[in-house]
Amino acid sequence: DVKVTQSSRYLVKRTGEKVFLECVQDMDHENMFWYRQDPGLGLRLIYFSYDVKMKEKGDIPEGYSVSREKKERFSLILESASTNQTSMYLCASSSTTLATQYFGPGTRLTVT
């Protein structure tokens, strides 16, 4: 079974803090994704990585950056957290670009 884990289930940070969200997958998948999910807006893609050190912007990359130094690990970075980044963050991975995406349990981030 594919396992995607995220470093925290719940996180509370202050405005202006630098925030790191970590995601690890154990199936040697090429592709990894970061989404955020908000009521009324659904899931929106923040960033996508198709290989180590490779990334593509999604629909809402502003205010975020990513890092993929190892194949199994994909990090989402909020350089200076703001209250409008309070959300549920979901990581996913897939073996190929069009294959089934497997999701982690999510991190609920609150920025105060």
Binding site for another protein (CB under 8 A): 4, 31, 40, 42-43, 45, 48, 50, 56, 58-59, 90, 92, 97-106, 108
Buried b (16+ CB within 10 A) or exposed e, 48-62: bbeeeeebeebeebe
Strands 4-6 and 73-78: unpaired
Measured from the CB atom, the residue of 84 and 98 that comes closer to another protein is: 98
Measured from the CB atom, the residue of 14 and 42 that comes closer to another protein is: 42
**Nearest one of 22, 64, 90, 7 to 56, comparing CA atoms:** 64
Q: How far is the CB of 27 from another protein (least distance, A)?
A: 13
Q: How far is the CB of 56 from another protein (least distance, A)?
A: 7
Q: How far is the CB of 59 from another protein (least distance, A)?
A: 8
Q: How far is the CB of 15 from another protein (least distance, A)?
A: 24
Give the gyration radius of the chain's Cα atoms: 13
Measured from the CB atom, the residue of 54 and 82 that comes closer to another protein is: 54
**Nearest one of 4, 22, 8, 24 to 71, comparing CA atoms:** 24
